[in-house]
Amino acid sequence: MAGLSIRDARKNFGETEVLKGVSIDVADGEFTVIVGPSGCGKSTLLRAVAGLEELTSGRISIGDRDVTDLPPSERGIAMVFQSYALYPHLTVRENMAFGLKIAKASKTEIDDAVRRAAAILHIEPLLDRKPAALSGGQRQRVAIGRAIVRQPQIFLFDEPLSNLDADLRVRMRYEFASLHRQLGTTTLYVTHDQVEAMTLADRIIVLRDGIIEQVGSPRALYESPANIFVAQFLGTPRMNILAAVVADDGSAQLIDGGCVALPPLAAPLAPGTPVSVGIRPEDIEIGAAAGALPFTITFVERLGGLATVHLQAADGGDPIACQRRDDGSLREGEKVVALLPPDQLHLFDAIGRAIPREARK
């Protein structure tokens, strides 16, 4: 195993700059997820690590080796693609053994490696089948098995679950987490799905338009987003963002006329300062309380045990979503009051950057 270091990676396709000076460090044995919207450059970055794309500039190191100019076969990586990329005319056993045969490993080494990987992935009964006879989840396991047998220093995964149905994606997330616990191989995993990122990663790298927005643990990014983009990209339903202005008493005056108390900040804000107030749906409390604001329920999404309640302020303004346990008591058109607890608020400045809060004692 080995760590990964990327320094000032830039990639142009003609006049279009896709990667704009990306620098990343992945520790030995770490499971790092690159997440971001479609077109942000995450797959291009992964392919550059694999040696399938040549960087316009920048350096890539695996362990203590600079691999920037090495071909894929000499980098010590194994990549699993979204499309599985299995050879349809070969059996599962032959697909898994293919890379080792190319590397001229002995038959005994190949048989042992395939048997070991098949046992880890519970696909021993499938070894003599061809890909056409497999389900999507089974094909993905075979693609992973083909990567395992090579015993790479780094696993690279490019949106490996995006072709699977919702239930199978959940089960395969568990398989990936279990596999990493067993093998401990350094992993760089690309996805646009924030649920995959939050459930699998030791660390998340949020990428937008070829630039890193924030790096940190799933909890750190969820609880302390660096800007509005990260705040709304991570979390379902996404964080509510309300336009406001700092009032003379230090509270925030919302555009619909309501006021919310602000948490203690690292530095006071001058009255009249425009801010955006963020709050996650699960942190909103429906029910009478000091400082609660009036709303009308416009829509209720019932999801079994949970409900997402959409609220419209009495005097207009931005609607907000509240998530709570569904006891069946709330109805569309009903007037309620809801509290936005100050200690759960996130504040952002005029260009969307997080405003530091006072350090907790």
Write out pLDDT tens, residues 293-326.
Answer: 999 999 999 988 899 999 998 777 778 999 999 8
Q: Are residues 252 and 328 in the same domain?
A: yes
* pLDDT per position as a tens digit, 187-209: 999 999 999 999 999 999 999 99
Q: Are residues 179 and 265 in the same domain?
A: no
Q: What is the value of pTM for the model shown? A: 0.90
Q: Angle 201-203-209 (CA atoms, 0-180°, nearest 5)?
A: 100
* 238 within some domain: no
CB 202 within 8 A of CB 30: yes
CATH number at residue 121: 3.40.50.300
Q: Are residues 218 and 259 in the same domain?
A: no
Encoded tokens for 312: 């419209």
DSSP state of 52: S
User: What is the arithmetic mean of pLDDT over 86-114?
Assistant: 91
Residue 289 banded pLDDT, cuts 50, 70, 90: confident
CATH number at residue 288: 2.40.50.140
Contacts of 288 (CB under 8 A, 6+ apart): 337
* pLDDT per position as a tens digit, 12-34: 999 999 999 999 999 999 999 99
Question: In the prediction, which pLDDT does 323 show?
Answer: 95
Encoded tokens for 214: 């924030």
Q: Are residues 278 and 147 in the same domain?
A: no
Q: Which residue has the tokens 């001058």?
A: 270
* 84 within some domain: yes
Q: If you average pLDDT over every residue of the chain, what do you get? A: 92
Q: How far apart are CA 147 and CA 174, in angstroms?
A: 18
Encoded tokens for 247: 């009032």
Domain span at 157? 4-232
Q: Are residues 143 and 292 in the same domain?
A: no
Our count of domains for the chain comes to 2
Residue finishing a domain among 232, 258, 274: 232
User: Which alpha helices (DSSP H) does the chain contain, by range?
Assistant: 42-50, 92-102, 107-121, 136-148, 166-183, 194-200, 218-223, 228-233
Question: In the prediction, which pLDDT does 241 show?
Answer: 96
Question: In the prediction, which pLDDT does 172 show?
Answer: 84
Q: Are residues 191 and 284 in the same domain?
A: no
* 121 within some domain: yes
Encoded tokens for 186: 């350094």
Going by C-alpha positions, the residue among 103, 160, 113, 106 that lies closest to residue 137 is 160
Question: In the prediction, which pLDDT does 1 show?
Answer: 65
Question: In the prediction, which pLDDT does 360 show?
Answer: 66
Q: Which residue has the tokens 């696909």?
A: 123
Question: In the prediction, which pLDDT does 40 show?
Answer: 95
* pLDDT per position as a tens digit, 130-141: 999 998 888 888
